[in-house]
Amino acid sequence: MIMVELQQVSRRYGAVQALAPIDLQVRKGEFVTLLGPSGSGKTTLLNLIAGTVAPSTGRVLIRGEDVTHSPPSRRELGMVFQNYALMPHMTVFENIAFPLRVRRLPKPEIERKVREVLELIRLPDVAQRRPRELSGGQQQRVSLARCIVYNPALILLDEPLGALDKKLREHMQLEIRSLHAELGVTMLNVTHDQDEALTMSDRIVLMNEGRIEQQATPAQLYSAPVSVFAADFLGTANLIAGEVSEQSDGWVTLATQVGPLRARVPAAGASPGTRATLVVRPEAIDVVRGDTLPLADQVAVEGTLRDLIVLGSVLRYHVRTAGGQDFVAQQQNHRRHADMQRGMPVRLIWAAEDGQLLA
């Protein structure tokens, strides 16, 4: 079942096209993240679904019903924002009970539900405190509780963890994720943080300048980006620009500043003469001594080791070629790097299979 459907929905603010006409479907029970840089239209898209912004064109359907012209209160969804928007003069109990009071539930039922939801967010003992007597993470949990207490089938989250420090943010990501699984609720989350999107989502909708660049599972988006923007936004990517010089048997050779490089023919094809970019992820690249020869199915590039950084369990190599192209390679940290010195000539080697060509 489809929970949310956007049909050619767009939004313009004067001369600014905040959102180009887009189509999007969110299935019931799915956790979808809108990911993209600041200004890419994420909040606009979320607000169009919430009903706080009206579309310039198109239709918004929730549970199959056309709600394009319905006010937010009629859409039966919950919203959680970065600034917790808790009412400071009310206790935690009163804050969470508020949406139930608005819905005129009987008092004993309100008490039971608030207690249940405080258990669920693992803050059973703070009911009588005021928001300012809680930490940022606790306040964010309370605002989440206030949203889930009336069981909305759809929850929209706009950078809900943006104000928290890294440790707490990571912890909350997992908590929201398990709440999502426990409640079976549909969640649509907005973030500019790729790690958050990768951690939490069933599906990521990558946005760029008011358009959907790509939508895919986290694993697909990382391993098969459809554009340089997508490859570069998610994770680290070595990007090598060039021109296709030949194509045969499913392989192409790309003439680049660092020499000819082999890669698989992309799905879209690539005829000789076309400009293309080769994407190689850092973990696909092995850094070896300059006198090590590549195997037949490998691609090799020569350079100088500029830096070798130990990031706990991983090692990161920074290598520059004679022509000035910088590469990043990343490997598990083990003892083999002991003979690697800054300034020494090295070879970057990757399986031709691991390079991805984008036209």
Ligand X SMILES: Nc1ncnc2c1ncn2[C@@H]1O[C@H](COP(=O)(O)OP(=O)(O)O)[C@@H](O)[C@H]1O
Q: Which of 162, 165, 295, 212 is nearest to 32 (CA)?
A: 212
Cβ pair 210, 18 in contact under 8 A: yes
User: Pairing state of beta strands 286-289 and 275-280?
Assistant: unpaired
Interaction partner, residue 266 (ligand X, Mg ion, none; CB < 5-8 Å by kind): none
Comparison of 44 and 139: residue with beta carbon closer to ligand X: 44
Interaction partner, residue 134 (ligand X, Mg ion, none; CB < 5-8 Å by kind): none
DSSP designation for 70: S
Interaction partner, residue 21 (Mg ion, ligand X, none; CB < 5-8 Å by kind): none
Which residues make up the interface to ligand X (CB under 6 A)? 13, 16, 18, 36, 38-44
Distance, in Å, from the CA atom of 242 to the CA atom of 273, rounded to the nearest integer, reads: 10
43 binds Mg ion (CB under 5 A): yes
Report in angstroms how near the CB of residue 157 gets to ligand X at its nearest. Answer: 12
Comparison of 92 and 212: residue with beta carbon closer to Mg ion: 212
Interaction partner, residue 44 (Mg ion, ligand X, none; CB < 5-8 Å by kind): ligand X
How many CA atoms does the CB half-sphere of 98 hold within 13 Å?
Answer: 16
Interaction partner, residue 344 (ligand X, Mg ion, none; CB < 5-8 Å by kind): none
Report in angstroms how near the CB of residue 14 gets to ligand X at its nearest. Answer: 7
Which H or E run includes 117? helix 107-120
Interaction partner, residue 225 (Mg ion, ligand X, none; CB < 5-8 Å by kind): none
Interaction partner, residue 18 (Mg ion, ligand X, none; CB < 5-8 Å by kind): ligand X
Comparison of 188 and 284: residue with beta carbon closer to ligand X: 188
**Burial class, 15, CB count within 10 angstroms (exposed 0-12 / middle 13-18 / buried 19+):** exposed
Report in angstroms how near the CB of residue 286 gets to ligand X at its nearest. Answer: 37
Q: Which of 220, 153, 155, 215 is nearest to 189 (CA)?
A: 155
Comparison of 209 and 243: residue with beta carbon closer to ligand X: 209
Q: Which residue is nearest to Mg ion (CB)?
A: 43
Comparison of 13 and 119: residue with beta carbon closer to ligand X: 13
Q: Which of 282, 285, 249, 245 is nearest to 264 (CA)?
A: 249
Comparison of 42 and 169: residue with beta carbon closer to ligand X: 42
Reported in sequence order, the residue ranges of the chain that DSSP labels E, i.e. its strands, are 2-13, 16-27, 31-35, 57-62, 65-66, 78-81, 154-158, 186-191, 203-208, 211-216, 238-248, 251-256, 259-264, 275-280, 286-289, 298-311, 314-320, 326-332, 345-351, 356-358
Report in angstroms how near the CB of residue 82 gets to ligand X at its nearest. Answer: 11
Which H or E run includes 46? helix 42-50
Q: Which of 157, 124, 125, 162 is nearest to 143 (CA)?
A: 157
Report in angstroms how near the CB of residue 222 gets to ligand X at its nearest. Answer: 21
φ, ψ of residue 248 in degrees (nearest 5)? -160, 145
Interface with Mg ion (CB under 5 A), residue total 1
Distance, in Å, from the CA atom of 90 to the CA atom of 235, rounded to the nearest integer, reads: 42
Comparison of 42 and 281: residue with beta carbon closer to Mg ion: 42
33 binds Mg ion (CB under 5 A): no
Report in angstroms how near the CB of residue 32 gets to ligand X at its nearest. Answer: 15
Report in angstroms how near the CB of residue 81 gets to ligand X at its nearest. Answer: 12
Interaction partner, residue 215 (ligand X, Mg ion, none; CB < 5-8 Å by kind): none
Rg of the chain in Å (alpha carbons):
25
Report in angstroms how near the CB of residue 234 gets to ligand X at its nearest. Answer: 16
The residues binding Mg ion (CB under 5 A) are: 43
